[in-house]
Chains A and B, each alone.
Chain A
């Protein structure tokens, strides 16, 4: 639950910045991005995801580092499981 998972915006799904399709290490999942409404999100932006919500925008460099960190501490699988687990439509 405390994992921060980096993902890349593939598609913004509504005009209201509620949901986006996000690619996390090759897995595509719908994520709520409404907390970043005022950040001018666009495709290819990287975000950090907690429990199905994007919490902040990050740089590509930071995203890559974060992914490496997850791998290094052996939490990568858990993170992927979490992302795959999102059931909401």
Chain B
């Protein structure tokens, strides 16, 4: 337990770890999936995977929205901007490096396509207002954490009667993807660390299906090392007692019912897509959001004729297996050789929250120490 003194609350960390050591028996083996990319990042950054008893294994979940994006989605939006000179492509920084068929948004930008990085969907609306002779395409992305913000931006566009602003929605939902993972044959996960921020919006209640139908415990967790360790302890206690409940370790930020207003605006603007393709996981029913017909005026998919682009994934790329928890990133043949954060092959290498990038950066920084 060498680094513990560097943490805030080293005493509490030590106590939690001791309690974990006490209840985990030598024959136990627990596989815990942290759903959120932010949690993956924190676990590696603070070395929590090395602090907990050896027989607790972390499986990295699908909670990085850039990582689960099917290859092709970015290309579809970019080729629009390439074909139409009056289209401005806007997206968050995380999307800018997503490798596509003919390069990332940054490559397109270098080729002269009008690609702009934004920090808020409201920035995209602002660009539209300031450029009335252009059409601004917002490449909207994220789980329930960011979907309400996109919804509010659409409502604002309506209020201000902006008619050159179009949303290409890639918003996805956390519960359906968890269900899809739970339904996979050979699914090895024993319990889930629930995402903190998406849960601020959806609350704790929707996870009941995981606990009741699939009989797996869920603990919604904060991002501090102590939060995560406490959540792991809560999970292990449930597993030891044969319980499957939804518990909320992150009560200080997550209300059981979520942010009711955020849920309302989301529901006002979006409806479920019948099916949506997830990278490496295939099509999942009711797992993504598109604009409701009332907001068709701001829907890029209605306004433009978007050509579907299906990209063959590199056959050796095993992003799907990493997402399902079947292998660890370094078990993919391309890891660190062909696929690196500088030259990502798969999306899990793109965002710093992606499982493969986190793994890579961690291994690299340990080696250089």
Contacts and interface: CB of A to CB of B under 8 A. Distances in A.
Interface of A: 1-2, 4, 32, 34-38, 48, 50-53, 55-56, 58-59, 62, 65, 68-69, 72-73, 81-83, 85-89
B123 A1 contact: no
B252 A58 contact: yes
A48 B265 CA distance: 18
Contacts of A87: 118-120, 123, 126-127
Given A51-B92, A52-B120, A35 B41 contact: no
B145 A86 contact: no
Q: Report the contact-size class of chain B (Cβ under 8 Å from the partner).
A: 35 or more
A50 B197 contact: yes
A34 B152 contact: yes
A81 B118 CA distance: 11
Contacts of B122: 32, 52, 86, 88
B77 interface: no
B200 A53 contact: no
Contacts of A36: 261
Contact of B261 (A32, A37, A58): A37
Interface in B242-296: 252-253, 259-262, 265
Contacts of A34: 152, 261
Q: 3 smallest A-B Cβ distances: which pairs? A: A52-B120, A85-B119, A88-B122
Given A2-B145, A35-B265, A73 B41 contact: yes
Contact of B120 (A53, A59, A65, A73): A53
A48 B119 contact: no
B197 A2 contact: yes
A69 B224 contact: yes
A51 B224 contact: no
Interface of B: 8, 36-38, 41-42, 45, 64-65, 92-94, 117-123, 125-127, 141-142, 145-146, 148-149, 152, 196-197, 200-201, 223-224, 252-253, 259-262, 265, 353
Q: How would you classify the secondary structure of chain A's contact residues: helix, strand, loop or mixed?
A: mixed
Nearest to B64: A2
B314 to A, nearest CB: 25
B118 A50 contact: no
Nearest to A18: B156
B361 to A, nearest CB: 10
Nearest to A70: B223
B234 to A, nearest CB: 19
Given A32-B149, A73-B41, 15 more contacts: A1-B65, A1-B93, A1-B142, A2-B36, A2-B38, A2-B64, A34-B261, A35-B148, A36-B261, A50-B145, A51-B119, A51-B146, A52-B123, A55-B200, A85-B118
Contact of A51 (B117, B126, B149): B149
B152 A35 contact: yes
A65 B8 CA distance: 9
27 contacts: A1-B141, A2-B64, A4-B196, A4-B197, A32-B122, A36-B261, A48-B253, A50-B197, A51-B92, A51-B120, A51-B142, A52-B122, A52-B149, A55-B148, A55-B197, A55-B259, A58-B253, A62-B253, A65-B224, A73-B45, A82-B119, A85-B120, A87-B120, A87-B126, A88-B120, A88-B126, A89-B126
